[in-house]
Amino acid sequence: MKLKASEPFKFRTRLTLVQATGRKAGNIMELLEGIRESDDSIIYHHTHRFLKQFHFLVPEPANDFAYWVNNILQEEKLGEELASVEIVRFNSLEAIKRAFVEILERHLKQVSEPMRAVSSGKEFHFLRSIRFSIPTSHQARDYAEFIECLRNVSVSTLYLHVFEARLRPPYGVDDFSNWFLKQFNDAEIQKAISRLDPYSYTLEGLRRRIIRILEQRIQEMKNA
């Protein structure tokens, strides 16, 4: 195995700015209609940004839609279903949107009692994330440098490369795995990182876990 990568891994960071759309929902039907008409930047906001915003919590709240249905509308069963949508397992925001739409449509077909609505001021507000991808000064050409960078980058960087990366080509693959595979033909790293679940770690915990995976990998290579 070669020791230095021909192309360095350049760490970037993701920053977001929140934009209000002026649209709101007071019941399930309005929530469904709002989601149906949402573009990627709105779906991203209520799923991915939400996850990152509360990254220090374990267990983390699942997504904005589930939180509102569960805690504000108090439709616990539906809230549970919406919370079970595993955001990071999807390869596109459109697919995530479809998953929510299907759950809400199924719910509306099944229920017979009158639709619950929230009082004024408690509506769900559809928001949009304006996403910025910004280069950082961190670059790595080998395993050791990579670990060093990982210790110092922000959690936004971690989130961008591990979870959000799966939404763009090559779909379903995080940036770290992709780099180790391309540069060092190391498929073991991909296997280990793709198994990581953001719902089981804080992003700080995740940072420690990836560093441990890489340290173990260095040790294995030394022993081989």
Partner 1 sequence: MLEEYRKIAGSNAIDEIQLIADRLKGKTVLHVNSTAVGGGVAEILNRMIPMMTELGLKPKWELIKGGDDFYAVTKKFHNALHGHEQDLTPKDYQVYKDTLKMNMEGMSLDYDMLFIHDPQPAALIEKRNSSKNKWIWRCHIDISHPAEEVWDFLKQYVLKHDAMIISAPNFSQKIPIPQMLVPPSIDPLSDKNKELSDEEVKKIMARLQIPTDKPLITQVSRFDRLKDPVGVLEAFKKIQHYVTARLLLVGGPADDDPEGAAVLAEVRQMADGNPDIIILCLPPTSNIEINAIQRASSVILQKSLKEGFGLTVSEALWKGKPVIAGAVGGIPLQITHKYSGILVRSIDGTAYWMKRLVHEPEYARRLGENGREHVRENFLLTRHLRDYLLICLYLESGKETFIRL
Q: Judged by CB under 8 A, does residue 41 bind partner 1?
A: yes
Q: Judged by CB under 8 A, does residue 144 bind partner 1?
A: no
Q: Which of 29, 77, 132, 200 binds partner 1 (CB under 8 A)?
A: 132
Cβ closer to partner 1: 22 or 114? 22
Cβ closer to partner 1: 98 or 131? 131
The answer to whether 101 touches 115, Cβ cutoff 8 Å, is no
Q: Judged by CB under 8 A, does residue 139 bind partner 1?
A: no
| φ, ψ of residue 196 in degrees (nearest 5) | -70, 135
Which of the ranges 25-33, 88-96, 106-114, 134-142 carries the binding residues for partner 1, by CB under 8 A? 134-142
Cβ closer to partner 1: 39 or 105? 39
Cβ closer to partner 1: 115 or 130? 130
DSSP-based three-state secondary structure for 88: helix
Of 196, 164, 201, give the one whose Cα is nearest residue 57. 201
Q: Judged by CB under 8 A, does residue 76 bind partner 1?
A: no
Q: How many residues bind partner 1 (CB under 8 A)?
A: 37
Q: Judged by CB under 8 A, does residue 130 bind partner 1?
A: yes
Distances from the Cα of 70 to the Cα of 22, 75, 77, angstroms: 22, 5, 8
Using only C-alpha atoms, the chain has a radius of gyration, in whole angstroms, of 20
Q: Judged by CB under 8 A, does residue 74 bind partner 1?
A: no
| φ, ψ of residue 56 in degrees (nearest 5) | -85, -5
What distance in Å separates the CA atoms of residue 76 and residue 58, rounded to the nearest whole number? 20
Q: Judged by CB under 8 A, does residue 154 bind partner 1?
A: yes
Of 126, 123, 107, give the one whose Cα is nearest residue 115. 107
Q: Judged by CB under 8 A, does residue 94 bind partner 1?
A: no
The answer to whether 31 touches 69, Cβ cutoff 8 Å, is yes
What distance in Å separates the CA atoms of residue 56 and residue 119, rounded to the nearest whole number? 31
**Smallest distance, partner 1 to C-beta of residue 70, A:** 10
- Provide the binding-site residues for partner 1, judged by CB under 8 A: 13, 15, 17-22, 39-41, 53-54, 56-57, 61, 67, 71, 121, 123, 125, 127-137, 153-157
